[in-house]
A and B are shown apart, each in its own frame.
Chain A
């Protein structure tokens, strides 16, 4: 017997959308079969069956949003096994999306419920969902570990503990975490509905906000609120890098050709090792300086963006960085990124050059200390040795978290970056 619970697919996930069931009630499933898709923080994730059996009850209809982690979503039984569910009512699908699958109990289930359930009072948690199930303090999700004092201060300040990251033992939320929490984390469930002007529905369209969109919104808002941003611009000549790319690609098969962006990742990686102060994260009482350049690359998706990571880019060859970026972008576009492929990292590069943007400032991607915004390469008149000539110029903008990176440190990093981009042979050293 197995109750399938809403899994926590990332450490911060408290709820998710049950996007789709891939099996129907009555289907036979084997351990490892993909039975459902869940839309989480950033991607569509698959839920696998952990046991062999028959999918007897689907408890949460597809399309249901805001399903708390730990909620029972389905039951898989061995042949002839009794349901442990008792009278647990199925969660209805949202009204906006009426579906025949938003179902009352099946006949089969009614019959089962008529016979007394087995004296197993509680369904046993699955192997991987070892977290305690009942939430003593919340309306949704699994148990939050917080000290009594932290709970009380959070209550007084109206802060939702599920949004906080604990710094106490085993990630326990302590007083300091609540005191450092920004007002942006305050609960909004008590907010009064805003008075609306005349019915706007005729002049506008309401677009439901996806889980992904919500996460992007809250993370970026938090970043702008918490991290004091400042920006450093640098004009960089690209001709040497373009020449290097041409030389490299002339020796590569079409599939293995590298992009300017791949080269910029390698250049940035070298600078992050040279100026490690920029390769750092703010963690309250201390700054975490990373040993490797784990560079996240911003990838635009329909309805959002995601930042998959090239781990240890400083250690990898240009061709392996290039290959990884290609694979990550493809996976991102297909919504197949695994959690560990886009969580963490130490630095971000966002490139809007392909849209002809000359320069822009980017919002830092927490927990990183800086993000590099790359503009388009443009052929421009420049003055060299007193004479006007032309060169391919690009403007790079470094957004820094001033808690981690001071102006002079950021400037030093940018100077290194300019030097290496304009003299790409240095990347070999």
Chain B
């Protein structure tokens, strides 16, 4: 095998985990290749985080225009072109994907457009075969193949009446009535987008509340806000059957059991947003002896699998299924491979989660229930955005900031936010947690006025009965 196709590191998968790992490894002097079967940037950039943000921006503008009157602005008849909305979203994704290719070149990373499979070891190296072109040889391998939408047994997406995220973000037409199965981040973002675009949306959630991973107070406030927007929500609802006719015009019928009573919901489209399945098939994992647990690759804090020289990062290694988790794991794995590791690993509770629906939701750390279950005595602060000058001026003062402290040590155990731009604000608490700030430093920090971030300060003050503006 030629030297040309021999690498210090081959990354399988060019998503936010894989390409970031490749860049970091290249910075550390390794010879790196990435194998990507579709587009660089992965689901995140092409079919997830980014294009949905473009759609939600369109929805936000449409909503603002529709409510411009309250700002004293008169806009005539409003309308939108679904084709153009989707095209802009695709253009944004294409721009960024091209940007990743540029980053690969800049960092001297070879990209193979192919599907890869681990083969036998030859000496210290792994052999990786590609469906197109010559095999590669790698001293170390990072698996970063991500995940795909989970299907519910017996429900087959047809791309027309029953769809998953990919088709849901490229609608040719707007349905009149839409059913969304699952109220996690993906489900609620689509609910928010379609509702803003005038679609009659029904959300079906099996758990007893929407956004079940969030703090229960946030779930309750989100539910109230969504219902106020005319979205129908069925909680504790068990999906029994979905029937879709072949002809699109006749739509889809879903039989749902709610509190033991069976109801039939009908709509002209249904989005399945019930989580994801890791892409672990056809990679040669079984032959290589890589250990899986419930469909995910098992790794240690540095991303090492049980097989020497093989690392795995991102969605395929388990929850939370977030791009920034994958990227961070990619850096940790790359540094470990290059022998640069400072022993820094990642704790799941330090990974923030963001949902870009209206109102936005963001959180980091423990929920109130998780903190109580862990045995802490809590100090909890809450501050509503209607006590925040900037939020009122923006005309967007629905929501609150909730902070949870350990009474004994003053550790910020968790922060949970719902309201305007909270996805941009949460990093303040992320940094505070990483630096192990206590309530004292957060109280002493000067927050600029007038900003939404003042609500973060006030929430901390409130936890210790020192709130000023409420």
Q: Which residues of A are in contact with B by a Cβ distance under 8 Å?
A: 147-150, 152-153, 156, 167, 169, 174-175, 283, 285-286
CA distance A49 to B437 in the complex (A): 42
- With A174-B436, A175-B436 given, is the CB distance from A149 to B343 under 8 Å? no
* A156 B408 Cβ-Cβ under 8 A: yes
Interchain residue pairs with CB less than 8 A apart (16): A147-B436, A147-B437, A148-B436, A149-B409, A149-B410, A149-B411, A149-B437, A149-B438, A152-B409, A152-B410, A156-B408, A169-B342, A174-B436, A283-B343, A285-B343, A285-B345
Residues in B397-431 with C-beta less than 8 Å from chain A: 408-411
* A156 B409 Cβ-Cβ under 8 A: yes
Q: Is residue B228 contacting chain A, with contact meaning CB distance below 8 A?
A: no
In the assembled complex, which residues on chain A have CB atoms less than 8 Å from the CB atom of B440?
A: 148
* Closest-CB distance, A161 to chain B (whole angstroms): 13
In the assembled complex, which residues on chain A have CB atoms less than 8 Å from the CB atom of B344?
A: 169
* A153 B409 Cβ-Cβ under 8 A: yes
The 10 closest A-B pairs by CB, nearest first: A147-B436, A149-B436, A148-B438, A148-B441, A149-B411, A149-B438, A153-B409, A175-B436, A148-B437, A152-B409
* Nearest chain A residue, comparing its CB with the CB of B406: A149
CA distance A152 to B438 in the complex (A): 9
CA distance A283 to B440 in the complex (A): 31
In the assembled complex, which residues on chain A have CB atoms less than 8 Å from the CB atom of B342?
A: 169
The contact string, 1 if C-beta is below 8 Å from chain A, for chain B 151-164, is 00000000000000
In the assembled complex, which residues on chain B have CB atoms less than 8 Å from the CB atom of A152?
A: 409-410, 438
CA distance A167 to B345 in the complex (A): 12
Q: Which of A148, A175, A286 contacts B343 (CB 8 A)?
A: A286
* Closest-CB distance, A163 to chain B (whole angstroms): 19
Total B residues in contact with A, Cβ cutoff 8 Å: 15
* Nearest chain B residue, comparing its CB with the CB of A174: B436
| Besides the known contacts A148-B437, A283-B343, 15 further A-B residue pairs in the complex with CB atoms under 8 A apart | A147-B437, A148-B435, A148-B436, A148-B440, A149-B409, A149-B411, A149-B436, A149-B437, A150-B436, A152-B438, A156-B408, A169-B342, A169-B344, A175-B411, A286-B343
CA distance A283 to B410 in the complex (A): 27
* Closest-CB distance, A155 to chain B (whole angstroms): 10
* Closest-CB distance, B300 to chain A (whole angstroms): 9
* Nearest chain B residue, comparing its CB with the CB of A149: B436
* Closest-CB distance, B184 to chain A (whole angstroms): 31
In the assembled complex, which residues on chain A have CB atoms less than 8 Å from the CB atom of B435?
A: 147-148
* Nearest chain A residue, comparing its CB with the CB of B411: A149
Q: Is residue B301 contacting chain A, with contact meaning CB distance below 8 A?
A: yes
* Closest-CB distance, B439 to chain A (whole angstroms): 9
* Closest-CB distance, B405 to chain A (whole angstroms): 11
In the assembled complex, which residues on chain A have CB atoms less than 8 Å from the CB atom of B409?
A: 149, 152-153, 156
Residues in B412-470 with C-beta less than 8 Å from chain A: 435-438, 440-441
* Closest-CB distance, A282 to chain B (whole angstroms): 13
* Nearest chain B residue, comparing its CB with the CB of A146: B436
CA distance A30 to B408 in the complex (A): 56
Interface centre among A147, A148, A175 (most CB of B within 10 A): A148
In the assembled complex, which residues on chain A have CB atoms less than 8 Å from the CB atom of B441?
A: 148
* Closest-CB distance, B403 to chain A (whole angstroms): 15
* Closest-CB distance, B349 to chain A (whole angstroms): 13
CA distance A175 to B441 in the complex (A): 16
In the assembled complex, which residues on chain B have CB atoms less than 8 Å from the CB atom of A169?
A: 342, 344
In the assembled complex, which residues on chain B have CB atoms less than 8 Å from the CB atom of A174?
A: 436
CA distance A273 to B437 in the complex (A): 43
Residues in B336-350 with C-beta less than 8 Å from chain A: 342-345
* A167 B411 Cβ-Cβ under 8 A: no
In the assembled complex, which residues on chain B have CB atoms less than 8 Å from the CB atom of A148?
A: 435-438, 440-441
* A285 B301 Cβ-Cβ under 8 A: yes
CA distance A148 to B440 in the complex (A): 9
CA distance A285 to B435 in the complex (A): 19
Interface centre among A149, A167, A283, A286 (most CB of B within 10 A): A149
CA distance A152 to B410 in the complex (A): 8
In the assembled complex, which residues on chain B have CB atoms less than 8 Å from the CB atom of A150?
A: 436
CA distance A149 to B411 in the complex (A): 6
* Nearest chain B residue, comparing its CB with the CB of A176: B436
In the assembled complex, which residues on chain A have CB atoms less than 8 Å from the CB atom of B343?
A: 167, 283, 285-286
* Nearest chain A residue, comparing its CB with the CB of B341: A286
The contact string, 1 if C-beta is below 8 Å from chain A, for chain B 306-336, is 0000000000000000000000000000000
CA distance A94 to B411 in the complex (A): 43
* Closest-CB distance, A156 to chain B (whole angstroms): 7
Interface centre among B301, B409, B436 (most CB of A within 10 A): B436
Residues in B376-415 with C-beta less than 8 Å from chain A: 408-411
CA distance A308 to B410 in the complex (A): 44
CA distance A150 to B438 in the complex (A): 9
* Closest-CB distance, B289 to chain A (whole angstroms): 21
* Closest-CB distance, A47 to chain B (whole angstroms): 33
* Nearest chain B residue, comparing its CB with the CB of A285: B343
* Nearest chain B residue, comparing its CB with the CB of A283: B343
CA distance A147 to B345 in the complex (A): 18
CA distance A147 to B411 in the complex (A): 11
In the assembled complex, which residues on chain B have CB atoms less than 8 Å from the CB atom of A175?
A: 411, 436
CA distance A19 to B408 in the complex (A): 45
* Closest-CB distance, A326 to chain B (whole angstroms): 35
CA distance A174 to B301 in the complex (A): 18
CA distance A175 to B436 in the complex (A): 7
CA distance A124 to B436 in the complex (A): 32
CA distance A175 to B411 in the complex (A): 10
In the assembled complex, which residues on chain B have CB atoms less than 8 Å from the CB atom of A153?
A: 409
* Nearest chain B residue, comparing its CB with the CB of A175: B436
In the assembled complex, which residues on chain A have CB atoms less than 8 Å from the CB atom of B437?
A: 147-149
CA distance A148 to B437 in the complex (A): 5
CA distance A376 to B466 in the complex (A): 72
* Nearest chain B residue, comparing its CB with the CB of A288: B343
Residues in B344-380 with C-beta less than 8 Å from chain A: 344-345
* Closest-CB distance, B436 to chain A (whole angstroms): 3
CA distance A149 to B438 in the complex (A): 6
Interface centre among B301, B343, B344, B410 (most CB of A within 10 A): B343
In the assembled complex, which residues on chain B have CB atoms less than 8 Å from the CB atom of A147?
A: 435-437
In the assembled complex, which residues on chain A have CB atoms less than 8 Å from the CB atom of B301?
A: 285-286
CA distance A271 to B345 in the complex (A): 32
* Nearest chain A residue, comparing its CB with the CB of B441: A148
In the assembled complex, which residues on chain B have CB atoms less than 8 Å from the CB atom of A285?
A: 301, 343, 345
* Closest-CB distance, B342 to chain A (whole angstroms): 7
* Nearest chain A residue, comparing its CB with the CB of B410: A152
In the assembled complex, which residues on chain A have CB atoms less than 8 Å from the CB atom of B411?
A: 149, 175
* Closest-CB distance, A139 to chain B (whole angstroms): 22
CA distance A150 to B441 in the complex (A): 13
CA distance A60 to B157 in the complex (A): 83
CA distance A13 to B411 in the complex (A): 30
CA distance A285 to B342 in the complex (A): 11
CA distance A251 to B170 in the complex (A): 86
In the assembled complex, which residues on chain A have CB atoms less than 8 Å from the CB atom of B410?
A: 149, 152
CA distance A174 to B342 in the complex (A): 14
CA distance A147 to B301 in the complex (A): 22
CA distance A150 to B437 in the complex (A): 9
CA distance A153 to B408 in the complex (A): 9
CA distance A167 to B438 in the complex (A): 19
* Nearest chain A residue, comparing its CB with the CB of B444: A148
